[in-house]
Structure 1
Amino acid sequence: MASTRRFRVTFDCAEPERLARSWCEVSGCVVPPPQGFATWDGVDRPLPPEDRGAWFACGDPSGVGPRLFFRRVPEGKAVKNRLHPDVRVGTGLVGAERLAAFEAECARLAPLQAVRVRLLHDDDSRLVMQDVEGNELCLD
Structure 2
Amino acid sequence: MPDVKPLADDLCVCAFVPPDKLAELAPRFRTIINNRPDAEEPGHPSSAEIEAEARRLGLDYVHIPVVPGKISDDQAAAFGEAIARRKGPFLAFCRTGTRSTMLWALSQSGKRSPDEIMEAAAAAGYDLNALRPKLAEKAAT
User: Which structure carries more helix by proportion?
Assistant: 2
Q: Which has the larger radius of gyration?
A: 1
- TM-score normalised by the chain length of structure 1: 0.30
Does 1 or 2 have the higher relative contact order (CA < 8 Å, sep 6+)?
2
